[in-house]
């Protein structure tokens, strides 16, 4: 289509047609508006949930966990021995992790089953002994603290950090003391120095941090560790696992995808849902425009014939009709974007009655400008596409045929 | 000579192959009012559509203003028509979405030789000459048939074309309005020096035109 069809006269004619059919044009616009609004609200909400879960689960957990192969067996034998990673293996693992380009940071841990006892309750679980300086590079606990202090408080002896649900179950708060018993019967008094929440009940229910030194002393395992946690720069690239297992004997590696299958699948399902529902709605809006323009073209065959006899070319006619659908599309998309933002904002301020699974005060919503650009482009593209076919049909009207009255 | 048609043959393929125009040749001079009359089905409308460049699916030669119509591309053809040919139909065919004034302005806005104010002034002058200026701001569908036909003539004249083609312009009007339209057409040929071709059943028109062409079964008798 040449540039000369884009002129004031053709736009004037298009606007005149639109303004005469205000109601129909308005309804077509509402169709686009609803499509774009739904798209934006859904994308904002679904990616909001995805990002929230990513942040809570994946940033709260390591991307790869390295453990000794026999650890599970020893656990099954009733918490007696503790299968650690020997110092020699640890050094080999460290040397690989240090040079790997994709490793963001890593930390050693010693984990042990233990029973926590407060004044009124007791709770059996797995305790993580961490090296505070290393662990701070892995988990941003400061952001998730509800009370007390983070990892730096573990440098003082005899302190423990608890997940908020666990603290509630034990009926303790910061400053209270707990007794911890490890499988070999040793016990220790610990002071609660911090309470944190990841927003995910499954984590907040069981996670505890103590200093690795304490656990090593209690278990009489000087310098012993059971796991190495690794945080990756690009989480989707887990080839590091292969390098590790082939270089070091008798270790297991687990990545975040294996450990969080349900969440990974949940994210995928939400993505598919978002795109398919939005696409379906825009398709319906597109059909609405197609329909309206098609009927207009059929009703206006005489007018199109007249325009052609007085010198308007086929391209002019295509343009005149296409401009109508573009105007509908652009206005509908802009209004859809605004309404989408308003609804998203309202949802983001709506209190959420938390389930057991996640702990969050309001619905997580993602406000990204790129979603608005995408929604707008979608809306306009749909209308251009839907408008093109009736417009082409209009341009093919044969004036002789019409004037003859056939 | 403003228009020359040589050996024009035209076939309709549907519903069955049929020759509508048989070796039609004619030439038109500036300032002529030529009427074409004949029974319906005689091919006079078909001839008019060909002369007005709307139908280019024919064999033979057609030159208007020295331009061979067959040499124009599908892009150039509408521009040529816009500049050189005015068209008046039996059923006036004004665009109902637009006012009377806008209807008259549309061909000139397409031509884009003058700015909008000049076009508006030209249109108002024409509407005045044709006696319908007072309706300029009205939606075109609110006018009577005779008034609409006068607006259609104004529209045909707006780009000052040399050739005006009218297909049964009085076919849908009463006696009084028919006479008025015919007078207007005569005046346009005489005072504006236009060439007008009118297809008509109206004896008043063909008896009073400069030249009449009778069509019988696709053949013309000059």
| Closest approach of B55 to chain A, Cα-based (Å) | 7
Q: Is the pLDDT of residue A358 over 70?
A: no
Which pTM was predicted? 0.72
Q: Which of A311, A403, A406 to mutate to probe the B interface, most B CBs <10 Å?
A: A311
Contact B48, B197 (CB under 8 A): yes
Here the contacts of A217-224 (C-beta below 8 Å, separation 24 or greater) are A218/A112, A218/A180, A218/A182, A218/A184, A218/A186, A218/A188, A219/A82, A219/A110, A219/A112, A219/A182, A219/A184, A219/A186, A220/A184, A220/A186, A221/A82, A221/A84, A221/A110, A223/A87, A224/A82, A224/A84, A224/A110
Which residue does chain A place closest to B110, by CA atoms? A9
Which residue does chain B place closest to A15, by CA atoms? B97
The top-level CATH class assigned to B3-221 is: alpha beta
Q: CA A239, CA A233: separation in Å to the nearest integer?
A: 12
In this predicted structure, what is the pLDDT of residue B70? 85
| Closest approach of B76 to chain A, Cα-based (Å) | 9
| pLDDT tens for each residue of chain B, 222 residues long | 888 888 888 888 878 888 888 888 888 888 888 888 888 888 888 888 898 888 888 888 888 888 888 888 888 888 888 888 988 887 768 888 899 999 999 898 888 888 888 888 889 988 888 888 888 888 888 888 888 888 998 898 898 888 888 888 877 777 777 788 888 888 888 888 888 898 887 777 777 788 888 888 888 877
Domain ranges of chain B: 3-221
Of A9, A306, A313, the CB nearest to B109: A9
Contact A191, A160 (CB under 8 A): yes
Q: Which residues of A touch B (CB under 8 A)?
A: 2, 7-9, 12-13, 16-17, 20, 302-303, 305-316, 399-400, 403-405
pLDDT tens digits, one per residue of A26-83: 888 888 888 888 888 888 888 888 888 777 777 778 888 888 876 454 444 433 445 6
Q: Are the Cβ atoms of B109 and A312 closer than 8 angstroms?
A: no
Q: CA A6, CA A314: separation in Å to the nearest integer?
A: 13
Which residue does chain B place closest to A306, by CA atoms? B93
C-alpha distances in Å from residue A96, one per residue of A238, A246, B49, B88: 14, 11, 86, 89
pLDDT tens digits, one per residue of A363-394: 788 888 888 898 888 888 888 888 888 888 88
Q: CA A322, CA B112: separation in Å to the nearest integer?
A: 21
pLDDT tens digits, one per residue of A109-167: 888 888 999 888 888 888 889 998 888 888 888 888 888 888 888 877 789 999 988 89
| Closest approach of A307 to chain B, Cα-based (Å) | 8
Q: Which of A13, A304, A310 to mutate to probe the B interface, most B CBs <10 Å?
A: A310
In this predicted structure, what is the pLDDT of residue A78? 39
Task: Kindly provide the ipTM of the predicted complex, given to two decimals.
Answer: 0.88
| Closest approach of A394 to chain B, Cα-based (Å) | 15
Q: Is the pLDDT of residue A264 over 50?
A: yes
């Amino acid at each position: 289509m040449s540039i000369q069809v884009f002129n004031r006269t053709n736009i004037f004619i298009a606007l005149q047609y639109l303004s005469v059919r205000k109601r129909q044009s308005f309804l077509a616009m509402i169709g686009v508006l609803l499509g774009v609004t739904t798209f934006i609200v859904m994308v904002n909400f679904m990616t909001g949930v995805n990002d929230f879960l990513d942040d809570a689960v994946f940033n709260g957990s390591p991307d790869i966990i390295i453990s000794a192969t026999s650890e599970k067996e020893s656990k099954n034998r009733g918490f007696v021995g503790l299968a650690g990673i020997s110092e020699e293996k640890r050094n080999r693992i460290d040397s690989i992790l240090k040079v790997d380009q994709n490793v963001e940071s890593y930390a050693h841990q010693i984990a042990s089953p233990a029973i926590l006892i407060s004044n009124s309750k007791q709770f059996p679980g797995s305790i993580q002994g961490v090296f505070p300086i290393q662990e701070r590079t892995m988990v941003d606990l400061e952001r998730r603290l509800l009370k007390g202090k983070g990892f730096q408080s573990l440098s003082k002896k005899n302190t423990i950090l608890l997940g908020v649900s666990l603290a509630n179950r034990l009926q303790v708060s910061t400053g209270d003391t707990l007794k911890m018993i490890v499988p070999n019967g040793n016990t220790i008094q610990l002071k609660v120095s911090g309470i944190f929440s990841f927003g995910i009940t499954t984590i907040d229910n069981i996670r505890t941090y103590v200093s690795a030194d304490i656990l090593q002393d209690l278990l009489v395992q000087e310098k012993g560790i059971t796991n190495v946690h690794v945080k990756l720069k690009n989480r989707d690239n887990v080839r590091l696992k292969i390098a590790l297992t082939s270089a070091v004997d008798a270790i297991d590696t687990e990545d975040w995808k294996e450990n969080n299958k349900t969440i990974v699948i949940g994210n995928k399902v939400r993505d598919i849902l978002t795109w398919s529902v939005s696409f379906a709605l825009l398709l319906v809006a597109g059909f609405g425009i197609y329909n309206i323009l098609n009927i207009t073209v059929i009703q206006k065959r005489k007018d199109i014939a007249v325009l052609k006899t007085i010198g308007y070319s086929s391209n002019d006619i295509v343009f005149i009709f296409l401009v109508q659908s573009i105007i509908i599309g652009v206005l509908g998309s802009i209004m859809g974007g605004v309404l989408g933002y308003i609804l998203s904002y309202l949802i983001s301020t709506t209190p959420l009655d938390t389930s057991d699974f996640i702990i969050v005060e309001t619905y997580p919503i993602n406000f990204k400008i790129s979603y608005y650009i995408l929604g707008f482009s979608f809306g306009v593209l749909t209308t251009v596409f839907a408008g093109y076919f009736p417009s082409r049909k209009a341009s093919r009207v044969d004036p002789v045929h019409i004037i003859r009255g056939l | 000579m403003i228009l020359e048609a040589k050996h024009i043959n035209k076939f309709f393929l549907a519903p069955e192959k049929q020759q509508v125009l048989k070796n039609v040749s004619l030439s038109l001079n500036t300032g002529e009012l030529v009427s074409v009359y004949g029974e319906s089905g005689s091919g006079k409308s078909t001839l008019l559509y060909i002369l007005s460049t709307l139908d280019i699916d024919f064999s033979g030669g057609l030159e208007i203003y020295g331009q061979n119509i067959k040499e124009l591309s599908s892009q150039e053809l509408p521009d040529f028509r816009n500049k050189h040919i005015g068209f008046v139909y039996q059923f006036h065919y004004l665009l109902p979405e637009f006012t009377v004034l806008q209807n008259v302005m549309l061909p000139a806005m397409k031509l884009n030789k003058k700015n909008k104010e000049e076009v508006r002034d030209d249109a108002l002058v024409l509407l005045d000459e044709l006696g319908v200026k007072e309706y300029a701001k009205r939606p075109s569908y609110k006018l009577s048939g005779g008034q609409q036909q006068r607006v259609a003539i104004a529209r045909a004249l707006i780009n000052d074309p040399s050739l005006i083609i009218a297909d049964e312009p009085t076919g849908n009007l009463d006696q009084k309005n028919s006479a008025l339209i015919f007078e207007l057409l005569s005046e346009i040929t005489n005072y504006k020096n236009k060439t007008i071709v009118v297809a008509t059943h109206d004896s008043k028109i063909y008896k009073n035109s400069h030249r009449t062409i009778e069509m019988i079964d696709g053949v013309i008798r000059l």
